[in-house]
Chains A and B, each alone.
Chain A
């Protein structure tokens, strides 16, 4: 009890004991964040049946896109710098990348805010946004192992997908895929936090979903948009989610080029941290807990 009194008497008193306990504390907090990943992964595993249908739906999406593009190409050699074979691979890998990076963090945050359970989050000594990110990553791990990989295997059986030969393309793609997840989650968290400022951000969340799917190059590769629009899209963060990693995987970007597209992802990751922190800070001031 006496520790508490002394901690109470001087703010930060609990931290005074030299480096070692503090390091131990930091380790415990890291373990807690790691547990968020683990618990979300296990929870998802319990509901894995839902994802078997997901694999079929994604394969169907790939199929629809594949046959559409096949019809558009006809005898043509190349469109917007894509050969027909590259396009097939691009479509398959883009959808399967989405199977990994997609999450509902925006919806989870908006729900926390709307039903007031955010109060429980704010009485805990951790960073809410970071904890959410970790849960998103737990979900991502699950999606990667039990959704994306089996989905990709199925897509390869059904469609003429050409895997890259170059190990650099594989390495580049996997690292960039992780950043796709980070950037997509940042955008989701920003959208979710907007629920602090507008009474109902349902419309915003739906719009975000369409914008991300369209402008990230999932539905149409960015190089196929009209010149002015693709110039604009290259200035937005969405291309970093699907188009850039897809370009590396299909071999349209090679060698040093991989570093420069990866650089674009890193820059967007850093830039998006700014609105994220700003919104989180502003949200603390605005917070208004619903339901008494």
Chain B
């Protein structure tokens, strides 16, 4: 059975429109105008138990709204959803005992009291027995190295320390499904990678299902086997990360540094007949773009020995570039058509 099952989920907000000017403000007093904004437009997906799924999209694409419906905070306008066997908004209080939620931008610890007191209070809120709590807390504290922090008040923690405590707070009741809304936002690289490896271990050891939204694609690369990409309230991609790279990654680039001035036409002449594209920064540096199906070594073989090369760098298109180009093209379909087409310039470097 799927841990998360979403069918035609939609959320529409009513937004108050303000008329301009003094007259408009006066009219607003008596007759309000509303406009409807649909943040999530009939999306469907299933996430099986034990999967880590990345949920990405630009700001305002509808990620947070979806997470808020999945966690029972928002009531959907239409559609069907079950999470861990519950309809989240119907039996909210029972349902939330089976899930853990971390909002990277909001704290769920109590500001004025010590970390351990917050945990103790959450133990009672989630009705966790003393023995289970002790075992779980010891495990988490050891894994995330929080021993020193337990007696400090939350307001005295650094962001990285606080975020590790937030994770413990969300996981004390050993939830089977965990929602993470931008859990690594604003953290330094060390803390980020600690949190990633912690999440990965948790998924492996406890089989926890994780749905993760993030703007940091390295989170996705480190953790997720699957990615759902959202744009303007619709799913534009749902599948594996490798597939995404293959389908959307358009090629690699090789940057050359030359010892003596080398003209662009000469380089183009060397690789004549290959679907590659040269760009020169100056006489001593040039870059060649090579499509995926062509071997880099074939291109190198033609150039090396013919030119006075001092340095070679191979640049692989990273996920950031891929995602940026998808965001900018705005739709999966356009790009999908563009990929198999012979001329790739348009799709490659928007």
Is A292 on the interface with B (CB-CB < 8 A)? yes
Given contacts A1-B206, A122-B72, A122-B73, is CB(A31)–CB(B124) below 8 Å? yes
> Within residues 11 to 51 of chain A, which ones have a CB less than 8 A from any CB in chain B?
11-15, 24-25, 28-29, 31-32, 35, 39, 42-43, 46
Majority SS at the chain A contact face: helix
Given the interface pairs A1-B207, A4-B174, A117-B106, the reply to whether A24 lies near B96 with Cβ below 8 Å is no
Bound-state CA distance A285–B73 (Å) is: 10
B53 — which chain A residues lie within 8 A by C-beta?
Answer: none
CB closest chain-A residue, reference B121: A35
The answer, yes or no, to whether A10 is at the interface (CB within 8 Å) is yes
| Minimum CB distance partner of A285 in chain B | B75
A120 and B108 contact, CB distance less than 8 A: yes
> CB distance A125 to B96 under 8 Å?
yes
Partner of A126, one of B86, B125, B128: B125
| B84 interfacial by beta-carbon distance below 8 Å | yes
Chain B nearest CB, measured from A160 CB (Å):
41
- Docked complex Cα distance between A1 and B174 (Å): 8
CB distance from B225 to the nearest CB of A (A): 20
B1 A9 Cβ-Cβ under 8 A: yes
Q: Which residues of A contact B13 (CB under 8 A)?
A: 288
A25 proximity list for chain B (CB < 8 A)? 127
B95 to chain A, nearest CB (A): 8
B139, chain A: closest CB distance, angstroms: 14
**Interface pair A287/B127, CB less than 8 Å apart:** no
A199 within 8 A of B: yes
Least CB distance from B266 to A in Å reads: 53
Query: Residues 42-74 of chain B: 1 if any A CB is under 8 Å from the residue's CB, otherwise 0?
Result: 000000010000000001100010001001111
Would you call A85 an interface residue if the criterion is a C-beta within 8 Å of the partner chain's C-beta atoms? Answer: no
Question: Given the complex, which residues of A lie within 8 Å of B124, measured CB to CB?
Answer: 28-29, 31-32, 35
Does A32 lie within 8 Å of B96, measured CB to CB?
Answer: no
Name which of B97-105, B226-234, B241-249, B293-301 contacts chain A. Answer: B97-105
Q: Given the complex of chains A and B, what is the CA–CA distance between A215 and B86 in angstroms?
A: 47
* Pairwise interchain contact A123-B96, C-beta atoms closer than 8 A: yes
Q: Would B125 and A46 count as touching, CB distance under 8 A? A: no
Whether B289 sits at the interface, judged by CB under 8 Å, is no
Chain A CB within 8 A of B94 CB:
yes
Does any Cβ of A come within 8 Å of B256's Cβ?
Answer: no
Query: Number of contact residues on A: which range applies?
Result: 35 or more
User: Which residues of chain A are near B101, meaning CB under 8 Å?
Assistant: 123
Measured in the bound complex, the distance between the Cα atoms of B103 and A117 in whole Å is 10
**Cβ-based interface call for B16 (8 A):** yes
B127 near A123 with CB under 8 A, answer no
B85 touches which of A7, A29, A31, A199 (Cβ 8 Å): A7
B1 neighbours in A (Cβ, 8 Å): 8-9
Which residues on the A side are within 8 Å of B91 (C-beta)? 11-12
Select from chain A the residue with minimum beta-carbon distance to B72.
A122
Docked complex Cα distance between A46 and B93 (Å): 32
| B19 nearest CB across to chain A (Å) | 14
Docked pose: A15 CA to B110 CA in angstroms:
28
A273 on the interface (CB 8 Å rule)? no
A39 lies within 8 A of B121 (CB):
yes
Known: A11-B86, A39-B113, A43-B112. Contact between A123 and B72, CB under 8 A? Answer: yes
Contact of B127 among A10, A29, A289, A291 (CB under 8 A): A29
- Of B3, B68, B71, B93, which is within 8 A of A8 by CB? B3
Shortest distance between the CB of A79 and any CB in chain B (Å): 42
Task: Point out the residue from A39, A127, A285 that lies within 8 Å of B93, measured CB to CB.
Answer: A127
Question: Complex: how many Å from CA A147 to CA B140?
Answer: 42
- Separation of A126 and B74 alpha carbons in the complex (Å): 16
Query: What residues of chain B lie closer than 8 Å to A68, measured between beta carbons?
Result: none
Question: In the complex, which residues of chain A have a beta carbon less than 8 angstroms from the beta carbon of B204?
Answer: none
Chain A positions within 8 Å of B80 at CB level? none
Does the CB pair B64–A292 fall under 8 Å? yes
Interface centre among A8, A25, A28, A284 (most CB of B within 10 A): A8
Q: Which residues of A contact B108 (CB under 8 A)?
A: 120, 123
Whether A289 touches B74, Cβ cut-off 8 Å, given contacts A35-B124, A119-B103, is yes
Q: A4-B174, A289-B73 are in contact. Are A125 and B49 (CB under 8 A)?
A: no
Q: Which of B16, B71, B86 contacts A123 (CB 8 A)?
A: B71
A119 adjacent to B68 (CB under 8 Å): yes
List, in ascending order, chain A residues with CB within 8 A of B64's CB.
289, 292
Is B93 a contact of A32 with CB atoms below 8 Å?
no
Complex formed: what's the CA distance from A116 to B117 in Å? 24
Task: Closest A residue to B74 by CB, please name it.
Answer: A287
Bound CA span A195–B127, Å: 31
Cβ 8 A contact of A5, one of B92, B123, B176? B176
A-to-B contact residues, CB < 8 Å:
1, 4-5, 7-15, 24-25, 28-29, 31-32, 35, 39, 42-43, 46, 116-117, 119-120, 122-127, 199, 284-285, 287-289, 291-292
Residues of chain B touching chain A, judged by Cβ–Cβ distance below 8 Å, are: 1, 3, 13, 16, 49, 59-60, 64, 68, 71-75, 84-86, 89, 91-94, 96-99, 101, 103, 105-108, 110, 112-113, 117, 120-121, 123-129, 174-176, 206-207
15 A-B contact pairs sorted by A residue (CB < 8 Å):
A4-B174, A8-B85, A8-B176, A14-B94, A28-B127, A32-B121, A32-B124, A39-B117, A42-B113, A122-B96, A125-B127, A284-B89, A285-B75, A289-B68, A292-B105
The 9 closest A-B pairs by CB, nearest first: A4-B176, A32-B124, A25-B127, A8-B84, A8-B85, A28-B127, A122-B73, A123-B101, A32-B125
